[in-house]
Amino acid sequence: MKNIFWFLGALLLAVALAFGIHHWLSQFESPGYVLMGIGHWSLETSFVVFATAQILFFVAFYFLFRFLGWLLRLPGKLKAKGREIKKVKSQEALINGLVDSAEGNWANAEKKLIKHASNSTAPLLHYLTAAKAAQARGAFDKRDKYLAEAEKMHPDSEVAVGLTQAELYLSGNQFDEALETLTKLHSIDPTHASVLKLLHQTYQKAGKWDALRKLIPSLQKNKVLMEAEVKLLEAETFSSLLKEAAEKADPDEIQALWQAIPNHIKSIKGISAIYFAAMVEANAGDRIESELAKVLDKNWDETLLVIYGSIISENSAGQLEKAESWLKKHPDDPVLLRMLGRLSIQLNDVYKAETYLTKSITLGPTVEAYRLLGNFFSEQGDKDRANECYKKGLELASDEVIEHVIEADYS
């Protein structure tokens, strides 16, 4: 439509110009003429007609060449229009694919995304989203194919593709594959926050606590996690390492690890209990007896108290004496009294054993206390009192089981 207006405008301008020239020349007695000859042929006309014809011919040829130029450019325009249409369709496919993925229509999302990926201005998004959809429906071969295609088309997006790949491996519990990918990415950019975060999650889920321990400084330095999160991660990592060392029952390894643990982690409730319990299980309770006693002097803890009572000490009398010193501050602690009763039995102190265990049961009856007192009476030959203790211990155990079942039902 615009071209038609240009044509009509130019034509009117030419007519107006021709009319103006004719009007100007008509003022003269002889407006002039033009004579042209070619061979035996000649053409004679007035100057007005000649000038008007020149103007009209110029306009006609101008639009003719414009039309020819448009025809020559037409195939390119059609191709560009086709590419534009495909681009619009690919954008629509990307939006629809993302919507289908959000709704869990994995097969439809994958089909739409891959069909229009080659025509998209963002094919990387198509292939990465299609890979996620393929994994969601269990098509791991297609997932890997889409990821390879994404890396092939965008070699400069190696980190983006690798992160998606590692994330998919991790969600599928393919820890070895995830670590292989993340290790490669970490070598490319050791400070990349997303790579570090995925590495920490993979080590955590795979139970590779020693590797995670070495990674923690990088997580803290690059501010991948908040300070509180780092402390929680440290606590989980070192407690898990202590448990692994405990399984090996090597006291030297356990102690070496304990020395490497930062003091702010050692002070967390429960961490020291793992260490002390591991040493006792490794038959090295004598190494930590005095240290554990000092900890209990400063911070009273029933779990640590039980561990202290389970130490097979070379100086049982000294162990009992130390435990009895705590009665000044904790005279009515049933756990302490039960432990004192156990130590008294080891030392064959009949009076103390019965006194401590009886008082412990009075303050806070437990199955363990009834068992210890029953064994004590049995060794003393008092079968009736022993049976009575066993009976009460069984009743208490039954009540605890029933209570747990009721709590489980209500929860």
Walk along the chain (411 residues) and give the pLDDT tens digit of each residue: 566 666 667 667 766 766 666 666 666 656 666 677 777 777 777 666 777 677 677 767 777 777 777 777 767 666 656 566 556 566 666 667 667 666 777 787 777 777 767 666 677 777 777 888 888 888 888 888 888 888 887 777 888 888 888 988 898 889 999 999 999 999 989 999 999 999 999 999 999 999 999 999 999 999 888 888 999 999 999 999 999 999 998 999 999 999 999 988 888 878 999 999 999 999 999 999 999 999 999 989 999 999 998 898 888 899 999 999 999 999 999 999 999 998 998 888 888 988 999 999 999 888 888 898 888 888 888 898 989 988 988 988 887 777 666 655 555
Can you give the pLDDT at residue 2? 63
Integer Rg of the chain from CA: 46
Which pLDDT score, from 0 to 100, does residue 251 have? 92
So what's the pLDDT on residue 15? 67
* 55 touches 14 (CB < 8 A): yes
**Class for the domain spanning 84-153:** mainly alpha
CA distance 205 to 173: 8
**What was the pLDDT predicted at 123?**
77
Among 334, 326, 293, CA closest to 311: 293
CA 193 – CA 215 distance, rounded (Å): 12
Handedness of CA 207, 213, 215, 220 (dihedral sign): positive
Query: Same fold for the domain at 84-153 and the one at 326-411?
Result: yes
What are the residues facing 36 on neighbouring strands?
A: 43
pLDDT, position 359: 92
- Cα–Cα distance for residue pair 344/350, rounded to 1 Å: 7
Domain 326-411 homologous superfamily, CATH: Tetratricopeptide repeat domain (1.25.40.10)
Domain limits of the chain? Answer: 84-153, 326-411
Structure tokens at 298: 């400063």
DSSP letter assigned to residue 314? S
Segment 220-223 long-range contacts (CB within 8 Å, at least 24 positions apart): 222/191, 222/193, 222/196, 223/193
Query: How far apart are alpha carbons 345 and 354 in whole angstroms?
Result: 9
- 136: closest CA among 158, 163, 109, 161? 109
Sequence-distant (6+) residues with CB within 8 A of 357 are: 337, 338, 341, 369, 372, 373, 376
Core vs surface per residue 219-236: b (16+ CB within 10 A) or e: bbeeebbeeeebbebbbe
pTM of the model: 0.67
Quote the pLDDT of residue 132. 83
Of 206, 126, 135, 121, residue with least CA distance to 165 = 135
Q: Using alpha carbons only, give the angle 354, 306, 333 rounded to the nearest 5 degrees.
A: 60
Print burial letters for 81-101: b (CB count within 10 Å at least 16), e (below 16). Answer: eeeeeeeeebeebbebbbebb
Report how far residue 401's alpha carbon sits from residue 18's, in angstroms, rounded to the nearest whole number.
115
Residue 397: which residues within 8 A CB-CB, separation 6 or more?
A: 367
E-only strand ranges, 153-223: none
pLDDT of residue 326: 94
Confidence (pLDDT) at 54: 73
**Partners of 35 in the β-ladder:** 44
| pLDDT number for residue 314 | 84
Q: What is the spatial distance between Cα 207 and Cα 176, in angstroms, rounded to a whole number?
A: 12
Task: Give the SS3 label for residue 379.
Answer: helix
Amino acid identity of residue 283, one-letter, is: N
Amino acid in position 358: T
Residues 6+ positions from 94 with CB-CB distance below 8 Å: 113, 116, 120, 122, 125, 126, 129
